[in-house]
Chain A
Amino acid sequence: MEQAWIAGKPAALDAAIAEAASLLAASRCPLIAGLGTDIAGARAAIALAQRAGAVIDHMHSEAVLRDLDVMRSSGVMMTTPGETHVRADTLLLAGPGLLEAWPQLPQRLFGKLPHAQGDPGAERRIFWLCPGRDANLAGSTGKIVGKNPGDLAGLIAALRARAAGRPAQKASVSSKTLDEVAAAIKAARFGVAIWSAGTLDALIIEMLCGLVDDLNATTRFSTLPLSAADNADGVLDACGWMAGFPMRTGFGRGFPQHDPWLFDSRRLVDSGETDCVVWISAYRAAAPGWRDAPPTIALTGREAGFRSPPRVHIEVGRPGIDHDGVQHVASLGALASIGATQPSERISVADAIARIAAALPGERSC
């Protein structure tokens, strides 16, 4: 069965590798984007970027950088999925998209607190602020406060004011409801605010973090920002230890530079600044969203749905399915090694990139 294509026509893997290497070698500003891959794939991709002077970006960088932006400009209390599961007597869910980000959320967090030392399995109090389209997902456990996600900023501002004992401007819910939620989060023994940065803006995230910090003056409260898909948090980790920066980092000047605007893959493609794209999507076979792409080397599943065939397309295996892979695991909140469930001969992103790198002229220096 074919595993590689050049300009839409089946090709030998070796020929596809050679074509990819020659495209990269001729490129003046390569872009490695998508980056939906396991840690081995991310390490290989970042090493390739260092060597080729490329830019690295992830398909979910917007969401990742929204959470990160708050972290690197203010203070953040965080906790783990595990501590939330065993300890959180109060949950403050904010905005829609939570179950998309973490499908196991209801089964992990909506039940009673597990019995622990001195803590006999109590009910949790759950408030879901402005769930929007997800209102029906709250089940019977949670109390929905506000509906429209557009009201979330005003609602959190009002809640923060009331929790601090200050008067609040008129919010989208009644002052009685507002005071009820404010009293409940202040009475929490260990509360956790949960959101998905895919659906919130940075200002709302910053307000939530501020609210949580305020609450810690008298009780314990923390946050659980949910991860984006396609191993975004895992790739973020690898970028951190290899480049010292998150994604949207360029190596074109011989050292890593981080700039979320300059190294936004869509901007690089739309402006014509990049002349060669390596597009990686090993988990879902997603195609990039842009229209007129420069020559593209695609490392994806077979049915990626490109608008026109990439110059080079190599079908790669799915981490944790076709081959073992390390990735960020939502229920653990950390990197873990996942064994292949249906081992296959499909090449991994890491191996494909290693072979492309081996075919490049020149060597990496220290």
Chain B
Amino acid sequence: MLTRIAGGRVIDPANGRDGVGDVWMRDGRIIDAPQGARAEATYDAAGKIVMAGAIDIHSHIAGWNVNTARLLLPDYHRAAARRPAETPLSNAVLPAFETGCRYAAMGFTTVVEPAVSPHYALHAHLELADIPIIDKATLTVLGNDDYLLGLLHANESDAAIEDYVAWTLDMSRGLGIKVVNAGGAAAFKENVRAFSFDDVVPSYGVSSRRIVKALQHAVNKLGVPHPLHVHCNNLGLAGNAETALTTIAAAEGLPLHLAHLQFYGYGKEGDRGFSSAAAPLAEAVNAVRNVTIDVGQVMFGPTVTISSDVLRQFNARHQARPRKWLILDGDANGAGIVPYDYRRTDFYNAVQWAVGLELFLLIEDPWRVYFTTDHPNGAHFTTYPEIFALLMSRDLRAQWMAELPPAAMAVSTLPSIAREYSLFEIATMTRAAPARLLGLTDRGHLNAGAVADVAVYEDDADRARMFRAAAFLFKDGELVVRDGSVTQVRFGRALTVRPERDRAIDRRMKAYYEDRYGLSDELLKVPEHALGRPEPFERVPCVS
């Protein structure tokens, strides 16, 4: 079907385009305006904003950890089950179906679940298969697993590590590799309670630095488009900006992505020994070209923190609000689920809120700072429209800051920042840049050949209202959302990479699983037929 989105302001940073014009689609792809052809369907976008579908690179939407958080927080009091929509935690971890509908309503078309343990990969992909409309992808978590630490302990070759990473990506159907507190979860199993970049996992004699460097090199060498995605050590601790700075320096010119940097933006200044260190972090990011970051913005309200950083979650378990938690010593990383309530009146929470916005506003290049709340850890993804509005208006920020503890604003540079994001910069940060970061050459832009994922918004001065409800959303060229309501339910695909490997690793892994666990490695597979959807996967090419 030939479809035309007519007369909107088309903002397409990947192609340097910002002007009134048409977007044409046929058979699920963007096409050049055809000569003399009549569209079978025309959508009037006059006065509206047209962008590619948005891409979220880091949002915990599926898998054992997320699902266990749902079960931990049933939104009900024992005495009486109440309508979920009326209870404050009902948004904390949405079921799969609502996750897809809510993302689509905001104009998102691709979302990455960033923390899948290989042993739970099938579970994660089953959940993703039940998330409608959007396309999905996973990052596979390595870096606390016995096999990798064993390779490093034995000083095995780079090639051996690369083969193992490639095997794991293939088995788990991931789009990239994430490392979460490298070595920290393994050390915690040996009763270590604090773990920094140059600390060593006792049994293996391997430092966090060495694990990160090994994985960074392997991912790069294999041609996986997305650089190693790093969750640093010491998340959430006062003074941890040092850890992030050390990790940035350790990237040594090769690509590296630091996740939810806000949670590492803390200094030790001020009366309470807790302050924003966003400025030096932003300066360090501005000074290098090879490092990208996403923010992990905090917004106020109840949520649940879901992390593969078992050590951090264990140490934070008694801060749970409400007072319940679950810590899993997993086969590799494991998980920690700790509900939390970010409060406006809380000094520390207000500093966290400010740190996130400072990072957004002080990092100059919108191609290297990505829009996330680390959903649901900093805030639920449904708060995105409010955050866009805050980035686009210093007046709105001033209104918010006036309501927050002055002591918190006094240890942050946020009150002095005048920058306001333009729609072009928002489109860069949420469309063009994430597509490039993930190696999705046919997404995040509106040139001919791109996947016809197109979001159309009212040009509303109330930016939060604008981004909350897309006027139209097209997925693969089909209308799926009108005025923020889902009009058609369809199911997307999970994006994967499969780098080349020496097949000898397959025999080694079979033997390893039988020897160490007494289990068949067949149990880890994610067969297409098990997911119950036609064509559940789409392969993204590696770069050579």
**B and A form one assembly:** yes
Closest B residue, CB atoms, query A64: B71
Closest A residue, CB atoms, query B122: A335
CB of B71 within 8 A of CB of A236, answer: yes
CB of A337 within 8 A of CB of B330, answer: no
A329 to B80, CA, bound (A): 34
In A151-190, which residues have CB < 8 Å from any B CB?
189-190
> What is the size, in residues, of chain B's interface with A at 8 Å between Cβ atoms?
70
Contact among B83, B127, B334 with A255 in the assembled complex (CB-CB below 8 Å):
B83
B516 within 8 A of A: yes
Contact among A76, A86, A220, A246 with B517 in the assembled complex (CB-CB below 8 Å):
A86
CB of B329 within 8 A of CB of A83, answer: yes
In B269-323, which residues have CB < 8 Å from any A CB?
314, 317, 320, 323
B84 within 8 A of A: yes
In A279-332, which residues have CB < 8 Å from any B CB?
324, 326, 329, 331-332
A333 to B527, CA, bound (A): 18
| Distance from A129 Cβ to chain B, minimum over Cβ atoms (Å) | 22
Contact among B123, B130, B323, B515 with A334 in the assembled complex (CB-CB below 8 Å):
B123
A222 within 8 A of B: yes
CB of A71 within 8 A of CB of B120, answer: no
CB of B76 within 8 A of CB of A334, answer: no
Known contacts A246-B71, A326-B126: A219-B324 contact under CB 8 Å: no
B353 within 8 A of A: no
Contact among B119, B146, B191, B314 with A332 in the assembled complex (CB-CB below 8 Å):
B119
Stretch at the interface among B216-224, B427-435, B518-526: B518-526
B70 within 8 A of A: yes
Interface 1/0s, chain B 94-131, versus A by CB < 8 A?
Answer: 11111001000000000000000001101100110010
In A44-77, which residues have CB < 8 Å from any B CB?
68, 71-77
Contact among A79, A241, A350 with B127 in the assembled complex (CB-CB below 8 Å):
A241
A355 within 8 A of B: no
Stretch at the interface among A17-25, A95-103, A116-124: A116-124
Cβ–Cβ < 8 Å partners of A148 in chain B? none
Interface 1/0s, chain B 133-156, versus A by CB < 8 A?
Answer: 000000000000010011001000
CB of B518 within 8 A of CB of A85, answer: yes
A242 within 8 A of B: yes
CB of B122 within 8 A of CB of A219, answer: no
Cβ–Cβ < 8 Å partners of B523 in chain A? 329, 332, 336-337
A334 to B95, CA, bound (A): 19
CB of A259 within 8 A of CB of B76, answer: yes
A332 to B85, CA, bound (A): 35
CB of B93 within 8 A of CB of A244, answer: yes
In A96-112, which residues have CB < 8 Å from any B CB?
108
> What is the size, in residues, of chain A's interface with B at 8 Å between Cβ atoms?
60
Known contacts A324-B529, A334-B122: A80-B203 contact under CB 8 Å: no
A255 to B78, CA, bound (A): 19
CB of B81 within 8 A of CB of A83, answer: no
Closest A residue, CB atoms, query B150: A117
B532 within 8 A of A: yes
Cβ–Cβ < 8 Å partners of B529 in chain A? 324
Contact among B324, B331, B526 with A75 in the assembled complex (CB-CB below 8 Å):
B324
Cβ–Cβ < 8 Å partners of B73 in chain A? 72
Cβ–Cβ < 8 Å partners of B190 in chain A? 189-190, 220
Cβ–Cβ < 8 Å partners of A117 in chain B? 146, 149-150, 153, 203-204
Cβ–Cβ < 8 Å partners of A71 in chain B? 71-72, 324, 326
B381 within 8 A of A: no
CB of B70 within 8 A of CB of A255, answer: no
B74 within 8 A of A: yes
Known contacts A68-B71, A71-B72, A324-B530: A334-B119 contact under CB 8 Å: yes
Known contacts A43-B130, A117-B204, A334-B122: A75-B326 contact under CB 8 Å: yes
CB of B94 within 8 A of CB of A244, answer: yes
Closest A residue, CB atoms, query B206: A117
CB of B67 within 8 A of CB of A241, answer: yes
Contact among B93, B97, B189 with A242 in the assembled complex (CB-CB below 8 Å):
B97
Known contacts A43-B130, A75-B320: A237-B67 contact under CB 8 Å: yes
CB of A243 within 8 A of CB of B203, answer: no
Contact among B75, B127, B326, B517 with A85 in the assembled complex (CB-CB below 8 Å):
B517
A190 to B334, CA, bound (A): 15
B19 within 8 A of A: no
| Distance from B20 Cβ to chain A, minimum over Cβ atoms (Å) | 33
B202 within 8 A of A: yes
Cβ–Cβ < 8 Å partners of A76 in chain B? 325-327
| Distance from B511 Cβ to chain A, minimum over Cβ atoms (Å) | 14
A82 within 8 A of B: yes
Cβ–Cβ < 8 Å partners of B97 in chain A? 242
| Distance from B521 Cβ to chain A, minimum over Cβ atoms (Å) | 11
Cβ–Cβ < 8 Å partners of B527 in chain A? 324, 337
CB of B67 within 8 A of CB of A242, answer: no
B245 within 8 A of A: no
Interface 1/0s, chain A 182-204, versus B by CB < 8 A?
Answer: 00000001100000000000000
CB of A72 within 8 A of CB of B81, answer: no
Cβ–Cβ < 8 Å partners of B120 in chain A? 334-335
CB of A255 within 8 A of CB of B84, answer: yes
A244 to B85, CA, bound (A): 12
CB of B518 within 8 A of CB of A77, answer: no
CB of B516 within 8 A of CB of A86, answer: yes
Contact among B62, B75, B85, B331 with A83 in the assembled complex (CB-CB below 8 Å):
B331
Cβ–Cβ < 8 Å partners of A242 in chain B? 95-97, 130
Cβ–Cβ < 8 Å partners of B327 in chain A? 75-78
Cβ–Cβ < 8 Å partners of A118 in chain B? 202-204
| Distance from A73 Cβ to chain B, minimum over Cβ atoms (Å) | 6
CB of B74 within 8 A of CB of A74, answer: no
A219 to B123, CA, bound (A): 31
A336 to B516, CA, bound (A): 18
B64 within 8 A of A: yes
A79 to B67, CA, bound (A): 16
B486 within 8 A of A: yes
Known contacts A78-B327, A85-B517, A331-B518: A244-B489 contact under CB 8 Å: no
Known contacts A117-B203, A255-B83, A337-B527: A108-B518 contact under CB 8 Å: yes
B328 within 8 A of A: yes
A257 within 8 A of B: yes
Known contacts A240-B71, A259-B81: A80-B317 contact under CB 8 Å: no
CB of A75 within 8 A of CB of B317, answer: yes
CB of A78 within 8 A of CB of B326, answer: yes
A242 to B70, CA, bound (A): 10
Known contacts A190-B189, A255-B83: A244-B95 contact under CB 8 Å: yes
Cβ–Cβ < 8 Å partners of A335 in chain B? 120, 122-123, 126
Known contacts A79-B328, A83-B189, A242-B96: A337-B64 contact under CB 8 Å: no
| Distance from B128 Cβ to chain A, minimum over Cβ atoms (Å) | 10
Known: A244-B70, A329-B523, A334-B120. 12 other contacts (CB 8 A): A71-B71, A77-B327, A78-B326, A80-B330, A108-B518, A117-B204, A119-B203, A241-B67, A244-B94, A334-B64, A336-B523, A336-B525
By a beta-carbon cutoff of 8 Å, the part of chain B in contact with chain A is 62, 64, 67-68, 70-76, 78, 80-81, 83-85, 93-98, 101, 119-120, 122-123, 126-127, 130, 146, 149-150, 153, 188-191, 202-204, 314, 317, 320, 323-331, 334, 486, 489, 515-519, 523-527, 529-530, 532
For the complex of A and B, list the 7 residue pairs with the smallest distance between their C-beta atoms, beginning with the closest: A118-B203, A259-B81, A244-B95, A79-B329, A336-B523, A240-B67, A337-B530
Q: What are 10 A-B pairs with beta-carbon distances under 8 A?
A: A40-B532, A71-B72, A78-B328, A82-B517, A85-B518, A86-B146, A240-B67, A257-B83, A258-B76, A337-B526
